[in-house]
Structure 1
Amino acid sequence: MEDLNHPLNEEEIEQLDQFLLNRIDDHLITEEMDEGIFDISTLDGFLTAVVSGPVTIPPSVWLDSVWGDFEPEWDNEEDFSEVLALLIRHMNGIVQTLMEYPEDFEPLYLERILDDRSYVIVDEWCEGYLRGTQLSSEQWQSGGEEIATLLNPILSFTAVTDWKGHDHTDDEVETIQKTIAPNAREIHAYWLTRRDDVPQEELITNHDQPPVGRNDLCPCGSGKIYKKCCLH
């Protein structure tokens, strides 16, 4: 069985990025539809929020948000298992870094070359992080002013603030961007000590999701179905 705790290498990250990018036929997209997540940077931000928040989000919930209105049609179970393994391994890699080597955690940002100068693009990562928080928004709000302050630089590069982070000089933008990674580490540490205080049932009720079924993927992230993993 594949080791789901083994971090993705660069080739596998590129493979996952290309899958997300190419899984939707552009002709099918309309303005009202949710495209889900379609690049590795957005996915990285999304999964960072998922594993850093106040409650445990089972794959049966967060996978729906990854796909949006465009859940892939799988040719066979092997194709699904391969992609799922890449997703779980990337998530577990984030968890391992935040838990064991938090100072080594760095977001997967995009880069753009303009006039022979490299610019860091944080917007996609921040949009992904916001998307992750929205899976349990009420529980995130229970963090009050402390969490709101830590989230501020992340949200300033998202549509909910009309990307206000860009309304500054280049040096000021860079300064704000440099606070994102340490704030993400602090957010993870904040909720880590409080997660047991928020029962999982609240998340399920608030999002009209049924409890994890015997044949659903186990919330622990093993990739096994519930009845053959933590229920056993």
Structure 2
Amino acid sequence: MQNAPLAANDYEFLEDALLKYGDDNSVLNVSELDGYLTALASGPVQVDIAEWFPAIWGGENPDWQSPDEAKQFIDLSVRHLNTLAAQLGTDVQAFEPRFETTDHHGQSVTLAEEWCFGYLRGISVSNWPELPAQLAAQLELIAQCAEEDNFELPANFDANQHNQQLAAIKPAAIALHDYWVTQR
């Protein structure tokens, strides 16, 4: 059960806890947490939970309402990290980044900004060394998306360009994971 995918109610619990205990320095939502944990699962070294867990909260663990609540959040986070590692390592077809969606002029638009921002946060905690040029270009695809401000899409939003950018993120994350696996 340590790497069984999370259920909808598990994601709801995580989202609620992030909203309840988070601040401007913490991971804001499940999409960002998914990107963060994906980078941790993908990096050159395994990062100890004593380092990566407080980083979710901007460096300081929350003052949990109860020990059970803290344990459940930790357990679900570790389980999701293990699931991502298993998917990226042996079942890449099952790997799907948890992007957000928004409504734009009556149409649903997928947004990856928060996921990409979380991914960069995970890289920072993992202290990734410099990448070869081809892989640095893959990482740049993710970094560019993290820099976008999608809180309000512009009136001249180009859906085709946006979708091309989104389509490049998953293969980039897989390529980065695969590279670091060979370096471990």
| Common topology (TM > 0.5) | yes
Match of 1:222 in 2: none
Which of 149, 157, 161 is 2:137 aligned to?
149
Q: Secondary structure at the match of 1:91?
A: helix
Where do residues 173-188 of structure 1 align in structure 2 (5 Å cutoff)? Answer: 173-188=162-177
Question: 1:146 and 1:193, CA in 2 relative to 1: closer, same or farther beyond 3 A?
Answer: same
Which of 174, 183, 193 is 2:182 aligned to?
193
Q: Secondary structure at the match of 2:103?
A: strand
CA distance in 2: counterparts of 1:41 and 1:67, whole angstroms: 15
What CA RMSD, in Å, does the superposition of the two structures yield over aligned residues?
2.0
* Larger-gyration structure (1/2): 1
Which of 27, 49, 53 is 2:39 aligned to?
49
How many residues align? The count is 179
Give the structure-1-normalised TM-score.
0.71
User: Unaligned stretches of 5+ in structure 2?
Assistant: none
Give the structure-2-normalised TM-score.
0.88
Q: Secondary structure at the match of 2:102?
A: strand
Q: Secondary structure at the match of 1:140?
A: coil
Which of 154, 160, 163 is 1:171 aligned to?
160
User: Unaligned stretches of 5+ in structure 1?
Assistant: 196-232
Where do residues 9-28 of structure 1 align in structure 2 (5 Å cutoff)? Answer: 9-24=7-22
CA distance in 1: counterparts of 2:71 and 2:158, whole angstroms: 46
CA distance in 2: counterparts of 1:17 and 1:50, whole angstroms: 19
Structure 1 residue 168, shift from structure 2 partner: 8.0
Structure 1 residue 116, shift from structure 2 partner: 1.9
Q: Secondary structure at the match of 1:63?
A: helix
Moved over 3 A (4+): 166-169
CA contact (8 A) 1:133 1:140 kept: no
Which of 60, 66, 69 is 2:56 aligned to?
66
Which of 1 and 2 has higher RCO (CA within 8 Å, sep 6+)?
Answer: 2
Structure 1 residue 69, shift from structure 2 partner: 4.9
Overall identity of the aligned pairs, in %: 30
Structure 1 residue 70, shift from structure 2 partner: 5.0
Match of 1:127 in 2: 117
Q: Secondary structure at the match of 1:176?
A: helix
Match of 1:36 in 2: 26
CA contact (8 A) 1:36 1:70 kept: no
